[in-house]
Structure 1
Amino acid sequence: MTSDATGSRPPENPTPQQQAMPQVNMITASEITASLKAGYSDFLARPLMSGSFGLFFAAFGILFVWCLVWLGAIWMVVPAAVGFPLVAPFAAAGLYEMSRRLQRQESFGWSDILRAMANQRKREMGWMAFVTLFIFWVWFYQFRTVLVIVLQDSSFSDLAGFLRTVFFTPEGWIFLAIGTCVGAILSAVLFSLTVVAMPMLLDREIDFVSAMLTSIRVVRNNPAVMLTWAAIISVTMILSLIPAFLGLIVTLPTLGHATWHLYQRAVTPAAG
């Protein structure tokens, strides 16, 4: 005689348990200061390794701009220089890993950091790279569109002529005003999507959409603090570009390490 009692065996097609969204915290301006101090401390702990990331980023920026000039794409130099920092959060993945290991007091070398970065291709970081590069492409496209509309009657054959047209003519001022407004909107969108999403994807198993939504929640719950953080990043990165991108050797790794520590304060650690 067989038993028909329910619960004698699990169902054949159990419903998968939904992953809980990370919990975000309220943070204050003092935690930005603490994160910057911690980031600079991480830079000083491994200055050569941290500085190498900044040097690579600076060298790539110099090469990128030089190629544009060599190809005669003068109009692309300004958006490339201004928009180049947009991809910095993705480029800082190795710095996040360094800060994580320093926080845990783990020893590590170049092979450990590069292996951790390479392993991201198997996870969700690639999708975040796609989002970042897509917004970077939109930045170039809107810049070119505004350029054609506003400066259609202007002519310039070299970088000096282009800068002279942009900064010393009424048409150039209109172009700068429109471009700055559109660029600010794109930067705000990208910042909101990535400010904690990038370190979170490296730190825990989570899909990139949930990471972006968590990042947006952090910005929404702490608008004044996160706006201050965005301003610090923007001003620091722009000033770092002035000496031929070389300021990035120090500022990029410091901000990258600091971003990790701010993420740790803004998002409750995963259970376990």
Structure 2
Amino acid sequence: MLWEEYVMTSKTEGSTPPDNQTPQRGMPEVNKVTADDITASLKAGFSDFLARPVMSGFFGLFYAVFGILLVWCLVWLGKIWMVIPAVIAFPLVAPFAAAGLYEMSRRLQTGESFGWSDILTVMANQRKREMGWMAFVTLFILWVWFYQFRTVLVIVLKDSSFSDLDGFLHTVLFTPEGWTFLAIGSCVGALLSAVLFSVTVVAMPMLLEREMDFISAMITSVRVVTENPVVMLSWAAIISVTMLLSLVPAFLGLIFTLPILGHTTWHLYQRAVQPAEG
């Protein structure tokens, strides 16, 4: 009963959906995807980036500046131990930064004209819709990640001390205790990343395009992954490696890689999920 009331409320409250959104009837159908779909989606994503490089690059620049400020604040506050988990978790929130990129790709795909105000307005309106619940899910998983990181840190490195970033990195990278800490943290982090990827990979663009509840979007996203495990985990690996490498040059690689990956995700979603009826 409570669930029925929630679904009815979620469909009536908030801003009026844009014309492009069609009320969802039942669960969306999931397609089989192949490596060729990833290749084609990457080509389409790169084409979208080239079509509007300044606007696309803006989202990458904003994300990169946020990352730089995040690390600087942690160092300034003396929270040295939080730098590594923050940097690792940073790419996990990329789907939210890519919301505007999804809308750009959608409009480019349908031949609609758009400007800065069109894209930024769409992004602002998402806070009134189901995307806000997806933010809650993401933040919860990130909270679990930080909590387990701190727990493992205390248990494994309890006798170690570090007052600066260099000392922390030396302890983690060049001591047996640090290697144990990295091994355990990496396993738990990989599990949480897999969970977050599975529930968001197509849920984010789906909620942008369609009027549906976030639970159905997450279930559909998980179905895409479970029915195409090899292809989707390969896509997850591509995202992870690309994003982490982009962090190396002071986060500046994200100016290019985030927009391309965001546009690509939209096109992969289009191939993985049947179009909405209506």
- Using the size of structure 1 for normalisation, the TM-score is 0.93
Aligned partner of 1:98: which letter? M
Over residues 16-37 of structure 1, what are the superposed CA-to-partner deviations in whole Å (9 max), with x where a residue is unaligned?
Answer: 9x93100000010110011111
* Counterpart among 238, 242, 245 of residue 232 in structure 1: 238
- Distance in structure 2 (CA, Å) of the matches to 1:19 and 1:105: 26
- Matching of residue 119 in structure 1 with residue 125 in structure 2: yes
- Distance in structure 1 (CA, Å) of the matches to 2:44 and 2:242: 17
State the identity as a percent: 81
Aligned partner of 1:257: which letter? H
Over residues 248-269 of structure 1, what are the superposed CA-to-partner deviations in whole Å (9 max), with x where a residue is unaligned?
Answer: 0000010000000000000000
Q: 1:81 — aligned with what? A: 87
- Distance in structure 2 (CA, Å) of the matches to 1:156 and 1:119: 44
Aligned partner of 1:180: which letter? S
- SS of equivalent residue, structure 1 residue 154: coil
- Distance in structure 1 (CA, Å) of the matches to 2:259 and 2:146: 26
* Counterpart among 32, 50, 55 of residue 56 in structure 2: 50
- Distance in structure 2 (CA, Å) of the matches to 1:219 and 1:61: 28
Computed over aligned residues only, the root mean square deviation of the Cα atoms, in angstroms, reads: 1.0
Q: 1:11 — aligned with what? A: none
Q: 2:175 — aligned with what? A: 169
Aligned partner of 2:185: which letter? G
* Counterpart among 240, 244, 247 of residue 250 in structure 2: 244
Aligned partner of 1:30: which letter? D
Q: 1:198 — aligned with what? A: 204
Q: 2:14 — aligned with what? A: none
- SS of equivalent residue, structure 2 residue 260: helix
Q: Which runs of 4+ in 1 moved over 2 A?
A: none
Alignment map for 1:31-180 (pairs within 5 Å):
31-180=37-186
Q: 1:267 — aligned with what? A: 273
Larger Rg: 1 or 2? 1
Q: 1:217 — aligned with what? A: 223
- Distance in structure 2 (CA, Å) of the matches to 1:222 and 1:66: 39
- Using the size of structure 2 for normalisation, the TM-score is 0.91
Aligned partner of 1:21: which letter? M
- Distance in structure 2 (CA, Å) of the matches to 1:230 and 1:84: 15
Query: Which shows bigger deviation, 18-27 or 139-148?
Result: 18-27
Over residues 91-133 of structure 1, what are the superposed CA-to-partner deviations in whole Å (9 max), with x where a residue is unaligned?
Answer: 2100000000000111101100011111112210000011111
- Distance in structure 1 (CA, Å) of the matches to 2:124 and 2:77: 32
Over residues 62-112 of structure 1, what are the superposed CA-to-partner deviations in whole Å (9 max), with x where a residue is unaligned?
Answer: 000000000000000010011111110122100000000000111101100
- Distance in structure 1 (CA, Å) of the matches to 2:179 and 2:153: 12
Over residues 144-164 of structure 1, what are the superposed CA-to-partner deviations in whole Å (9 max), with x where a residue is unaligned?
Answer: 110000000011110000001
Q: Which runs of 5+ in 2 are unaligned?
A: 1-7, 9-23
